Structure 1
Amino acid sequence: MGGQYRITGDKYPRMRRPRRRGRLVLLAVASVTALGVLGWGTFQLIDVFTGGGKEASAAGTRSECGTRAASSTKAAALPEPGRITVNVLNATPVSGLAKKTADELKKRGFRIGEVGNATKEYDKKIKGTGLLLGPSAALDTSLPVLATQLPGAERRTDAARKGTAVDLILGTGFKKLTPKADADKALTTLTNPKPATANKSC
Structure 2
Amino acid sequence: MSSSAPGPRSSRRQSTRRTPWLGVVLIGLALVLLFGAGFGLSRLIRNASNGGDAAPTTGSSQSTDNPEPCITTTVIPGADLPKPNTVTTNVYNATDRAGLAAATADELKGRGFLIGTVANDPKAKTVTGAAEIRYGTKGELAAKLMSYYILGATLVNDGRADNTIDTVLGAAFVSVAAQSDVDKALAEPSPTASGPGCSSSAAPMDSSEPATDSGSSTTPSAS
Alignment TM-score, normalising by the size of structure 1: 0.59
The structure 2 residue matched to 1:94, chosen from 98, 123, 148, is 98
Alpha-carbon distance between aligned partners in 1 of 2:178 and 2:77, rounded to the nearest angstrom? 26
Give 2:178's aligned residue. Answer: 179
User: Does structure 2 conserve the Cα–Cα contact (< 8 Å) formed by 1:130 and 1:174?
Assistant: yes
Computed over aligned residues only, the root mean square deviation of the Cα atoms, in angstroms, reads 4.1
Alpha-carbon distance between aligned partners in 2 of 1:165 and 1:154, rounded to the nearest angstrom? 16
User: Does structure 1 conserve the Cα–Cα contact (< 8 Å) formed by 2:105 and 2:118?
Assistant: no
C-alpha deviation, 1:148, in angstroms: 1.3
Structure 1 stretches lacking a partner, 5+ long = 2-14, 197-202
User: Does structure 1 conserve the Cα–Cα contact (< 8 Å) formed by 2:86 and 2:114?
Assistant: no
Alpha-carbon distance between aligned partners in 1 of 2:64 and 2:121, rounded to the nearest angstrom? 61
Aligned residues: 170
C-alpha deviation, 1:150, in angstroms: 1.6
**1:119/1:74 Cα in 2 relative to 1: closer, same or farther (>3 Å)?**
closer
Name the % identity: 21
Structure 2 stretches lacking a partner, 5+ long = 1-7, 9-22, 194-223
For the pair 1:53 / 2:66, whether they are aligned, the reply is: no
Give 1:147's aligned residue. Answer: 147
**Deviations 1:160-199 (Å, cap 9, x if unpaired)?**
x22101011222432211233332233334xx42247xxx
Letter in 1 for 2:185: A
**1:195/1:114 Cα in 2 relative to 1: closer, same or farther (>3 Å)?**
closer
User: Does structure 1 conserve the Cα–Cα contact (< 8 Å) formed by 2:77 and 2:190?
Assistant: no
Letter in 2 for 1:149: Y
C-alpha deviation, 1:39, in angstroms: 0.4
Letter in 1 for 2:184: K
C-alpha deviation, 1:133, in angstroms: 1.0
Alpha-carbon distance between aligned partners in 1 of 2:185 and 2:165, rounded to the nearest angstrom? 19
Counting only pairs closer than 5 Å after superposition, residues 32-51 of structure 1 correspond to structure 2 as 32-47=44-59
Alpha-carbon distance between aligned partners in 1 of 2:147 and 2:77, rounded to the nearest angstrom? 17
Choose 1 or 2 for highest CA Rg: 2
Alpha-carbon distance between aligned partners in 2 of 1:138 and 1:168, rounded to the nearest angstrom? 12
**1:126/1:74 Cα in 2 relative to 1: closer, same or farther (>3 Å)?**
closer
Give 2:187's aligned residue. Answer: 188
User: Does structure 1 conserve the Cα–Cα contact (< 8 Å) formed by 2:128 and 2:171?
Assistant: yes
For the pair 1:79 / 2:88, whether they are aligned, the reply is: no
Give 2:217's aligned residue. Answer: none
C-alpha deviation, 1:105, in angstroms: 2.4
Alignment TM-score, normalising by the size of structure 2: 0.55
**Deviations 1:127-186 (Å, cap 9, x if unpaired)?**
3322211114545x2222211112222221212x22101011222432211233332233
Alpha-carbon distance between aligned partners in 1 of 2:132 and 2:192, rounded to the nearest angstrom? 30
Residue 194 of structure 1 aligns to a residue whose secondary structure is strand
Alpha-carbon distance between aligned partners in 2 of 1:75 and 1:24, rounded to the nearest angstrom? 80
